[in-house]
Structure 1
Amino acid sequence: MKRLLFLLLMMTSLSASADAFYVLAGYVCDKKADELRITYDGAYNEAGKAMMASRRKTQWDPWDLTVAKDDDHIGSLKTVRANCRLSNGVYAVEITPSPGNFNVQGRCGAWMTAGAKVFKGRKQIYSIGRFDSDCFGEEPIVTRVAVGPKLTKPVETSVSSAEFYK
């Protein structure tokens, strides 16, 4: 009887499904508002797939900006560079992926975020190494950064990790 019960339990095991979380890092050159905005968005499952399908030309999945070394390691990172002309000149933006670990099997290995830099002329006016601090972090996540001639300094918008990963 125990064997029969064991076999029935094995045959009727529930199929496993895991959530998939999608992330996009990008920028908006809003000439009407005279502002450059850096964006960092994330969503789970179907909402994430929809976000990826409707992304702008100026948004990237950070994983698409990596080059594999082998099956288990990231070899190098690509940086997206672009310019945004606003009323007081040209702003240069750089977006770079920021993996949790170059060994994708290691701690935080399958976790990915991104970082960004903004320059006005040769002067760096904003830099963030990671929008999201760590794969286990509880710190706020930067989702928007605005720079431009109407702002005296870059303005960050953050949300809690609980809100970002809901």
Structure 2
Amino acid sequence: MVEVAYVGGYNEEGERLMQNKSENEWNPWDLIEGDNGSESRYIKAIESVRKQCKLSDGVYTVEMSPSPCNYDVQGMNGGMMTANATIRRGKKILAKQSLGACDVGEELIATKVSVHAGSNVPAIEKKKAGDYYQ
């Protein structure tokens, strides 16, 4: 199975996540480039991370990229970041999913997407935004 999860935490919990992350976990804020180094107000570019793995039915490619809620980090929701995940087997896209949300209402947001070997149908885990962003 190939699985991509969107995990986050505030303050000390977020710091602990970053200190203990593995080589297959990323902080989406590390994948952006600002317009003025550490003093940047505007996001001018984003990077993607690509990883591959081989399952019984082929080679899978996972691509993750940040999705800023506002490219003006001082603007409304500028401190919030979501992510996009794409899972491919060969050239076929099996899943293309936004993870997280910029609004924190009661709607459901995707927090995990997975594909089992031999399946063309992704499984998507969703939570209430109000439960995820606490």
TM-score, structure 1 normalization:
0.73
Contact persistence 1:111–1:135 (CA under 8 A): no
Matched positions, count: 131
- Which residue number in structure 1 is paired with residue 89 of structure 2? 120
* Alpha-carbon distance in structure 1 between the residues aligned to 2:94 and 2:47: 21
Deviation for aligned residue 1:44: 2.0
> Which amino acid in the other structure matches residue 102 of structure 1?
Y
Shift of 1:127: 0.3
**Any idea what the Cα deviations from partners look like across 1:21-40, whole Å, max 9, x if unmatched?**
xxxxxxxxxxxxxx111011
Q: Distance in 1 between matches of 2:133 and 2:104?
A: 12
Which residue number in structure 1 is paired with residue 11 of structure 2?
45
Which runs of no fewer than 5 residues in structure 1 stay unpaired?
A: 1-34
Aligned residue type for 2:23: K
Return the alpha-carbon distance in structure 1 between the equivalents of residues 28 and 131 of structure 2: 20
Greater relative contact order, per chain length (Cα 8 Å cut-off, separation 6+) = 2
Partner of 2:124: 156
Other structure's SS at 1:107 match: coil
Q: What's the secondary structure of 2:2's corresponding residue?
A: strand
Letter in 2 for 1:114: A
Q: Structure 1 pair 132/41, CA: closer, same or farther in 2 (3 Å)? A: same
Aligned positions of 1:3-152 closer than 5 A: 35-70=1-36, 71-128=40-97, 130-152=98-120
Distance 2:101 2:130 in 1: 13
Q: 1:131, CA displacement in angstroms? A: 0.9
Whichever of the two has the greater Rg, that structure is 1
Seq. identity, %: 35
What is the RMSD of the two structures over their aligned residues, measured on CA atoms? Answer: 1.5
Gaps of 5+ in 2: none
What is the distance in 1 between the residues matched to 2:78 and 2:63?
A: 23
Superposition deviation, residue 148 in structure 1: 2.1
Measure the CA separation in 2 of the matches of 1:132 and 1:139. 11
Tell me, in whole angstroms, the C-alpha distance in 2 between the residues paired with 1:42 and 1:141. Answer: 13
TM superposition shift of 1:155: 0.3
Task: Tell me the equivalent position of 1:10.
Answer: none
